[in-house]
Amino acid sequence: MANIINNIVCIGSGNVATHLTSALAKAGKNIVQVYSPNAAHGQTLAKKLNCLYISNINNLQPNADMYLIAISDDAIESVAKKINTEKGIVVHTSGITDIKVLNHHKNFGIFYPLQTFSKNVTVNMQDVPFLIEGSSQNTQQQLIQLAKSISNNIHLIDSEKRKKFHLTAVLVNNFPTYLYLQAYEYLKSANLNFDLLLPLIRETGNKIKTVNPEKAQTGPARRKDLNVLETHRRMLSNFPDTLKIYNVITQQIVKKYYE
């Protein structure tokens, strides 16, 4: 039977680190340390978790059950090499970084939450998909049990498949958020309230839960309503960046349904 992960060191103090450690602490896990080069953020998180903040990675406790690396992708490999542990599981939370960057450790794995996080926005962690990968069956089972303590949505996914989920997460989350920004700025320039679009945004998200995206597509490009499309283009003449995006997406929708 796999050992239970109880004592956890957190490396990082950003959005992902904050949400994961808070959920794990709520589930009864002991967050023993927070390491972060950003003292203000690290101290704030450590205070919230009632644990020790450290600014020197060489002061990491060597006998924790798990070392949770929740930092920028570019820094994961170099930081992981500085972790000194014999038995602890070293994991990262990245969707795109390969598990191989951790393979100089005896026990290592992936603990990737497929969700967007902002520190002050509440997320129902029980619904968040966790994509798990482990260096051994025993490590994998420990990570699965840990994930089950905070979520009901656990999946064993290898690095290559996880990368595909990360890419598509960018398509469905980061890109629409940028489109929201374009809409916000356009309406703001006309002293109009972006909040009037919120019910539409919610319904679009709800629809996709039950309708295939191909069938859910609506709008003037889907109908190939050329007069409306030209009107929109004229309205965006003073917003060249938004117009470029509008034209590219419009062309792709028309191509999908009419070519």
Report the percent of the chain where pLDDT is more than 90: 97
**How confident is the model at residue 119, as a pLDDT?**
87
Domain end, chosen from 127, 157, 187, is at 157
33 and 106 together in one domain:
yes
Has residue 2 got a pLDDT over 80? no
Same domain, 19 and 135: yes
Q: Are residues 92 and 191 in the same domain?
A: no
91 and 171 part of one domain: no
Whether residue 144 sits in one domain with residue 49: yes
pLDDT digits (tens, 9 = 90+) for 59-98: 999 999 999 999 999 999 999 999 999 899 999 999 999 9
Which pTM does this prediction carry? 0.92
Q: Is 71 contained in some domain? A: yes
My answer on whether 167 and 203 are in the same domain is yes
Q: Give the mean model confidence (pLDDT) for residues 168-192.
A: 97
Beta 154-156 vs 107-113: how paired, if at all?
unpaired
pLDDT reading at 1 higher than 70: no
* Number of domain units in the chain: 2
How confident is residue 173, by pLDDT bands cut at 50, 70 and 90? Answer: very high
Residues 201 and 236 in one domain: yes
Q: Mind listing the pLDDT tens digit for each residue in 108-162?
A: 999 999 999 998 899 999 999 999 999 999 999 999 999 999 999 999 999 999 9
Residues 136 and 182 occupy one common structural domain: no
Q: Pick from 157, 173, 197: which residue ends a domain?
A: 157
Q: CATH number, domain at 71?
A: 3.40.50.720
- The predicted model gives 50-67 an average pLDDT of 96
* Amino acid (1-letter code) at residue 192: L
In a domain, 2, yes or no: no
Residue 62 within a domain: yes
Task: Say yes or no: 141 and 29 in one domain.
Answer: yes
Whether residue 208 is contained in a domain is answered as yes
What residues make up the domain containing 116?
7-157
The answer on 217 and 111 residing in a single domain is no
**97-106 average pLDDT score:** 96
In this structure, the answer to whether residues 214 and 242 fall within a common structural domain is: yes
What pLDDT does residue 217 have? 95
From 157, 186, 207, give the residue that closes a domain: 157
pLDDT in tens, 212-251: 999 999 999 999 999 999 999 999 999 999 999 999 999 9
Q: What is the reported pLDDT for 259?
A: 86
In this structure, is residue 1 part of a structural domain? no
Do residue 52 and residue 110 come from a single domain? yes
